[in-house]
């Protein structure tokens, strides 16, 4: 059992130590897991664009697969609102204008806003999760606040290069647990 600060430090370092070849192999295995999930009933899928400088799992291949195999699924991206600590959701299509934010993340500039209640599934970035579905992200709480505003049956899908830890001991009332965690070797359901 370990607390968030310790786990965040350890798993951030572990992820940064992965070389390009290791990441590509892990990404390929995670892609195989992701496509095994049920996507037929999804209308709105919230995705994140991976930050390679943080060695995040690469979502680009999966996003391309969704666009090819499920063209009726609407892809949603968020723009970070630093003033109130929230994420504003926009429909993502070929007309979406993107700019880089202060962390180097590409975000939409305007477009069609999407209410959280419409979103069926969310790909969630994280460093590591535990066996109860609690996750550790970067510590700002953006995804916890966002998921709390989504409908109750939203399918939150964490992406992690690493297996689950036993327990994150200092979870709080505002931490929003995952429904799934996809790792290179399996899909965990909570």
Any idea where the domains of the chain sit in the sequence? 4-189
Question: Are 54 and 111 spatial neighbours (Cβ–Cβ below 8 Å)?
Answer: no
139 is in an annotated binding site: yes
pLDDT (0 to 100) of residue 175: 83
Question: Are 33 and 183 spatial neighbours (Cβ–Cβ below 8 Å)?
Answer: yes
11 is in an annotated binding site: no
56 is in an annotated binding site: yes
pLDDT (0 to 100) of residue 16: 97
110 is in an annotated binding site: no
Residue 96 has pLDDT above 90, yes or no: yes
Confidence band for 1, pLDDT divided at 50, 70 and 90: low
135 is in an annotated binding site: yes
Classify the phi-psi angles of 117: left when phi > 0, otherwise alpha if psi is within -120 to 50, otherwise beta: alpha
Q: 4-189 adopts what CATH topology?
A: Rossmann fold (3.40.50)
Q: How far apart are CA 139 and CA 55, in angstroms?
A: 17
97 is in an annotated binding site: no
Q: What is the pLDDT of residues 144-170, one digit of tens each?
A: 999 999 999 999 999 999 999 999 988
106 is in an annotated binding site: no
137 is in an annotated binding site: yes
Q: What angle do CA 42, 46, 49 make, to 5 degrees?
A: 135
Residues 6+ apart with CB under 8 A from 102: none
Question: Are 155 and 179 spatial neighbours (Cβ–Cβ below 8 Å)?
Answer: yes
148 is in an annotated binding site: no
CA-based nearest residue to 183, from 7, 25, 77: 25
Structure token pair of residue 183: 């790792």
């Amino acid at each position: 059992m370990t607390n968030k600060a310790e786990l965040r430090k350890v798993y951030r370092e572990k992820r940064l130590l992965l070389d390009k070849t290791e990441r590509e192999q892990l990404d390929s295995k995670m892609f195989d897991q992701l496509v095994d999930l049920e996507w037929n009933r999804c209308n709105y899928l919230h995705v994140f664009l991976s930050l390679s400088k943080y060695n995040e799992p690469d979502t680009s291949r999966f996003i391309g697969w969704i666009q090819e195999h499920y063209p009726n699924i609407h892809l949603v991206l968020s723009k970070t609102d630093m003033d109130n600590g929230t994420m504003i959701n926009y429909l993502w299509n070929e007309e979406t204008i993107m700019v880089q934010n202060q962390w180097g993340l590409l975000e939409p500039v305007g477009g069609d806003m999407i209410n959280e209640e419409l979103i069926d599934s969310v790909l969630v970035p994280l460093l590591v999760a535990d066996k109860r579905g609690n996750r550790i992200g970067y510590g700002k709480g953006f995804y916890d606040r966002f998921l709390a505003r989504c409908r109750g049956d939203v399918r939150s899908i964490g992406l992690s290069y690493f297996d689950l830890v036993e327990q994150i001991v200092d979870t709080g009332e505002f931490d929003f647990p995952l429904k799934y965690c996809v790792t290179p070797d399996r899909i965990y359901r909570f």
